[in-house]
Chains A and B, each alone.
Chain A
Amino acid sequence: MSIVLYRVDDRLIHGQVIVGWGQPFHVGFIVLVDDAVRASDWEQDLYRMGVPPHIEVSFASIAEAAQRLPEWEADPRPGILLAGSIDTLAALSANSHRVKRINLGGIHHQPGRSQRLRYVYLSDSEAVKLKELAGQGIEITAQDVPTARPVPLEEFA
Chain B
Amino acid sequence: MSEPLRGVIVSHAAVAQALKSAVGTITGVEDALIPVSNDGCDSGALSERLAAAIGGKPAVLFVDLPGGSCLTSAIRLAKGRTDVAVVTGVNLAMLLDFVFHRDLPPLEAARRAGEAGSKAIRTPAA
B44, B66, B67 — which one has the most chain A CB atoms within 10 A of its CB?
B67
Interface string of A40-62 (1 = CB under 8 A from B): 00000011011100000000000
Partner of B69, one of A15, A51, A119: A15
CA distance A10 to B45 in the complex (A): 11
Task: Establish whether residues B45 and A15, one from each chain, have CB atoms under 8 Å apart when the complex forms.
Answer: no
Task: Please give the number of chain B residues whose Cβ is less than 8 angstroms from any Cβ of chain A in the complex.
Answer: 16
Task: Establish whether residues B69 and A11, one from each chain, have CB atoms under 8 Å apart when the complex forms.
Answer: yes
Main secondary structure of the interface of A (DSSP, over half): loop
CA distance A110 to B76 in the complex (A): 20
Task: Please give the number of chain A residues whose Cβ is less than 8 angstroms from any Cβ of chain B in the complex.
Answer: 19
Q: Which of A11-57 contact B (CB under 8 A)?
A: 11-15, 18, 46-47, 49-51
A15-B65, A51-B67, A109-B40 known; A46 vs B45 contact (CB < 8 Å):
no
Enumerate chain B residues within 8 angstroms of A107, measured Cβ to Cβ.
42
Q: Which of B37-64 contact A (CB under 8 A)?
A: 40-45
Partner of B67, one of A18, A106, A109: A18
Partner of B42, one of A18, A51, A110: A110
Enumerate chain B residues within 8 angstroms of A106, measured Cβ to Cβ.
42
A11, A51, A109, A110 — which one has the most chain B CB atoms within 10 A of its CB?
A11
Task: Establish whether residues A10 and B75, one from each chain, have CB atoms under 8 Å apart when the complex forms.
Answer: no
Enumerate chain A residues within 8 angstroms of B17, measured Cβ to Cβ.
none
